[in-house]
């Protein structure tokens, strides 16, 4: 049974369960309220809107937060500080407990504008409580278009909470980077870690065909930089949109190595980040690292007219491991 469906915005209510808990994230991006403005009230009993309260983009976040809350009923605010990921993980855990105690058996998560780090932490939190729910749906509104730059700078690099991995000092360090549209953070990470083995992934099959030209330019830019780093590296292609394809591609690269500490770095779409999460949930020896941007472009994306829906109940990698 397929676990992914792509559909028009107007079709979203045909596939989502009723009486769910709805989770979403108020962001500076317009995509953050696309689902809130299209989901029917019967689909959820309670909505939890996460909001980063310590952000230079707080004015934009607050305006979009109000648009979300105006569109939803029975809405609770979850105030978080994205610079404190351990506290964020604690708050996500408490939300899960509240949902379970309320005997809500279905979850709908709008992953569109959670940061990659926050999404990974949330997926680990849901994974740990997955058998408490009858269904877990992820909804993604991809961008119809991106600006010429998405973020600048790299203020921090940290292990993602819940995915520490295992480090053996006798093994080589193998870093696998799923690149996106941002070279600065990827190159900063490589310079800092200086891995023994480096695999650089280039996205294919974008969420929108309008991204193809930008992707090709970024690939050329990355090739130029990595060609001068002074140590060997290999490149591979992965799907920006097909979770199982990316999961299998990265898993094959991991399995081809021996006696390696694996470090995964997801810098592409949220869909490919889900692939990374599933790999690391399956094999807890794998570490996930994420470089935090210094600043974002507030006009960097426009919402598309479609949703991708993932039914985690039908994802073997999410349910078949204890």
**10-residue stretch averages of pLDDT, the chain, 322 residues long:** 88 97 95 97 98 72 91 96 96 98 98 97 97 97 76 88 97 95 85 92 71 64 70 89 95 96 96 97 96 80 92 87 52
8 A C-beta contact, residue 28 and residue 298: yes
Q: Which of 184, 211, 178, 205 is nearest to 300 (CA)?
A: 211
Q: Please classify residue 209 by burial: count the beta carbons closer than 10 Å to its beta carbon, then call 0-12 exposed, 13-18 middle and 19+ buried.
A: exposed
8 A C-beta contact, residue 281 and residue 244: no
- Phi first, then psi: give them for residue 255, nearest 5 degrees: -70, -20
Fold: same for 4-145+303-314 and 151-296: yes
Q: Spelled out in words, what is the top-level CATH class assigned to the domain 151-296?
A: alpha beta
Residue ranges of domains in the chain? 4-145+303-314, 151-296
- Segments in the chain forming alpha helices (H): 58-71, 85-101, 116-128, 183-193, 212-226, 243-256, 270-282, 316-319
CA distance linking residue 294 with residue 155, whole number of Å: 5
As given in the structure block, the two tokens for residue 197 are 């083995």
Instruction: Concatenate the DSSP letters of all residues of 88-99 into one string.
Output: HHHHHHHHHHHH
The fold for domain 4-145+303-314 equals Rossmann fold (3.40.50)
Residues 6+ apart with CB under 8 A from 238: 178, 201, 202, 203, 204, 245, 246, 249, 250, 268, 272, 275
Q: Which of 208, 267, 271 is nearest to 245 (CA)?
A: 271
Confidence at residue 146, expressed as pLDDT on a 0 to 100 scale? 67
**Side-chain half-sphere exposure of 147, counting CA atoms within 13 A:** 11
């Amino acid at each position: 049974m397929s676990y992914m469906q792509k559909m028009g915005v107007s079709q979203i209510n045909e596939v989502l369960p009723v009486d769910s808990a709805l989770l979403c994230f108020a962001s500076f991006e317009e995509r953050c309220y696309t689902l809130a403005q299209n989901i029917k009230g019967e689909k959820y009993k309670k909505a939890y809107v996460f909001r980063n309260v310590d952000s230079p983009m707080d004015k934009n976040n607050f305006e979009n937060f109000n648009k979300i809350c105006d569109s939803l009923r029975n809405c609770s605010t979850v105030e978080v500080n994205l610079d404190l990921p351990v506290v964020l993980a604690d708050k996500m855990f408490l939300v899960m407990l509240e949902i379970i105690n309320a005997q809500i058996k279905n979850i709908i998560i709008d992953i569109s504008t959670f940061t990659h780090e926050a999404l990974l932490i949330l997926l680990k939190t849901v994974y740990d409580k997955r058998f408490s729910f009858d269904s877990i749906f992820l909804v993604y509104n991809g961008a119809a278009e991106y600006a010429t730059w998405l973020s600048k700078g790299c203020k921090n690099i940290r292990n993602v909470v819940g995915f520490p991995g295992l480090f053996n000092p006798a093994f080589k360090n193998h870093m696998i980077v799923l690149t996106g549209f941002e070279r600065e953070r990827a190159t900063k990470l490589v310079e800092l870690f200086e891995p023994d083995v480096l695999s650089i992934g280039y996205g294919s099959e974008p969420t929108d065909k309008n991204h193809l030209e930008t992707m090709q330019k970024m690939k050329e830019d990355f090739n130029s930089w990595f060609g001068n780093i002074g140590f060997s590296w290999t490149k591979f292609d992965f799907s920006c949109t097909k979770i199982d394809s990316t999961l299998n591609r990265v898993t094959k690269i991991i399995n081809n190595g021996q006696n390696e500490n694996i470090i995964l770095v997801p810098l592409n779409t949220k869909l490919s980040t889900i692939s990374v999460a599933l790999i690391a949930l399956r094999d807890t020896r794998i570490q996930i690292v994420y470089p935090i941007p210094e600043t974002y472009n507030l006009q960097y994306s426009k919402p598309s007219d479609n949703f991708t829906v993932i039914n985690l109940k039908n994802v073997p990698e999410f349910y078949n491991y204890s």
